[in-house]
Amino acid sequence: MSKKPILKSVPSLPKLDFLKAFTKKEAKLFRKELKLLLKKARKNIKKPNIKKIKEAFIFAEEKHSKQKRESGEKYFVHLYETANILLEYNVSNEIIIAGLLHDVLEDTDATEKEVEEKFGKTVLELVKGVTKLDIISLEGRKTAELKSFQKLLLASVKDYRVILIKLADKLHNSRTLSYLKPKKRKRIANQILQVYAPLAHRFGLHSIAREMEDSSFKILEPKIFQELSEKIKKQKKSKLKQTDSMIQILKNKIVFPFRNYRFYTLEKSLYNIYAKMKKGNRSLDEIYDYLVLVVVTKNFTECYEVLGLIHSTFYPIPGKLKDFIAVPRDGTYSSIHTTVLGPKGLPVRVYIRSERMDKIARKGIAALDPEKGSKTLYQKKLGRAAAVLELKLASSDKFFDALKEEFLQNHIFVFDNSGKIDSLPSHSTALDYAYHIDKNTGNNLKKVFVNGKEVPFFTELHSGNRIECVKSKKKTVSTDWLQMTNSLQTKEKIIKALKLSTRKSDKKIGLKYIFVRAGDRIGLMHDLTGVLSKFKINIENVYQERLGQNLYVEFRVDAKTKTKFDKAMKALKKVKKVTNVEEGLSK
């Protein structure tokens, strides 16, 4: 049975008006990339809407026809590459179409009404979400602008497809960094490395993350990148020989014909290797897991059979076994990690996983079926980002720090008494967990038990801990708690609770609290106390806490007259770098 031609209308494309402005070479490339895109869509999408994808590509390029990239290429090249990246993840028609249109609302005269009429409401919402999702624009924004930006970003992160499209867009941008001017090139490379690569890792899109890391690393540290690349190239051949030898030995040990295991090698990014060397002050010879042997089985029970086979064949290095099948990392990633001594006596890192686990490990959030509700685990991660976005943070620096700290860094996994699993940022304390449950548990916390034993609130938690929080009937929140956590989210919740409690407290006493937020600088405390002294306000007590690049100061003062107190409050707001001043009643 003969196949239908992929693109019947290709010969008619030169009749399109916008193609008249193209050179012959550009027009030829346009036709070629459109044909390749539709061919790949037919292959990679379950029920491809070839007509709409073709229409979106033509519509987008028509709108962008007068624009060129920094590389000198016509804009359709970027649209093609973005859609091409998305197709690698077998996504839906709507995601591909939105990927092709992701810049039309921002950079062209296309209207929302126009996009919705041609491609539907779902596509419009995705395009709007991607347009708003620009984490990089945080830097340099004023506090007023930041507030509205937080709302936009909050709306965007509610749909995982927006994240996916944005990451595909940024991945292609990372591939073309060399065309930018040096200063801009370094700035964007740093932003991709600090935000988008970790974001890709958090959503299981590790191949995107690795490529982003190396593209940025090459720009930011070209000499180190080149040296490390050459060293690894020399070692890689012998490493591959060892893994090939291991694969052959394991295949010979598999006697049952139905045990059809799959083997492949996985390379870590150069940046990942460099980060490990820098963190542990180690040489490349001490980093043995930049090349990993992956064994893929049919189901999870076979993973444990393979583990036994490997450990009975090669000597396992003690303390290097991690079972992410029993306790999935980030709630989604499942594999067994082990390290053994290979045939040549050198350490080899091995990952063992089923076909389903391998698909999720390679494609992350894109591998999950939204129709079956399987994306909910990743939506918890979006919820964590949303929680950060809802914080009333004093500056863009602090907001950015909170986003990185609470969302982009590594996480641990703990259990409550019922066995329910939950994730927290690494280095979280028992107090952080209480506030993670809800603010009432945090504010009323009386006792915490970890693995059945009562522990101080500042106790650092580790993956696998079982935690029980005991609440008091009354609020127990205290300023001392600010010393028991490093989490900006938890500190914000504690400060908010303290303010509410002081406002509701004893009105009979003339003592008051003054809460000051400011960017930390030399001479700040001198200026603040100088203002209070000028208006003859006695300072009873002072408490200060650093929050990122900012300082939180709490003054307990004796205000003799309301007039002087009000004048002092106004004067404090004018002190250099002060961003917020509030009052509360004394306890």
The residues annotated with a catalytic role in the active site are: 106-107
Residue in the structure block whose two tokens are 């209480």 = 434
How far apart, in whole angstroms, are the C-alpha atoms of residue 355 and residue 496? 47
Burial 89-121 (b: 16+ CB within 10 A, else e): bebbbbbbbbbbbbbbbeebebeeeebeebbee
563 neighbors 127 (Cβ within 8 angstroms) = no
How far apart, in whole angstroms, are the C-alpha atoms of residue 170 and residue 545? 37
Q: In the structure encoding, which two tokens stand for residue 567, read together?
A: 């004048």
Beta bridge partners of 578: 518
How far apart, in whole angstroms, are the C-alpha atoms of residue 365 and residue 342? 33
Q: Among 553, 526, 576, 518, which residue's Cα sits nearest to residue 397?
A: 518
Element spanning 295, H or E = strand 291-297
DSSP annotation string for 521-586: -TTHHHHHHHHHHHTT-EEEEEEEEEETTEEEEEEEEE-S-HHHHHHHHHHHHTSTTEEEEEEEE-
Torsion of CA 241, 247, 250, 252, to 10 degrees: -90
Question: Which long-range CB contacts under 8 A does 151-155 form with residues at least 24 apart?
Answer: 153/389, 154/386, 154/389, 154/390, 155/129
Cβ burial, residue 252 (10 Å; 0-12/13-18/19+): exposed
How far apart, in whole angstroms, are the C-alpha atoms of residue 150 and residue 134? 10
171: number of CA atoms within 13 Å, CB side?
Answer: 27
Q: In the structure encoding, which two tokens stand for residue 490, read together?
A: 């938890």
Torsion of CA 167, 171, 172, 173, to 10 degrees: 90
523: CB partners within 8 A, 6+ apart: none
452: CB partners within 8 A, 6+ apart: 466
Beta bridge partners of 299: none
Q: In the structure encoding, which two tokens stand for residue 535, read together?
A: 């208006």
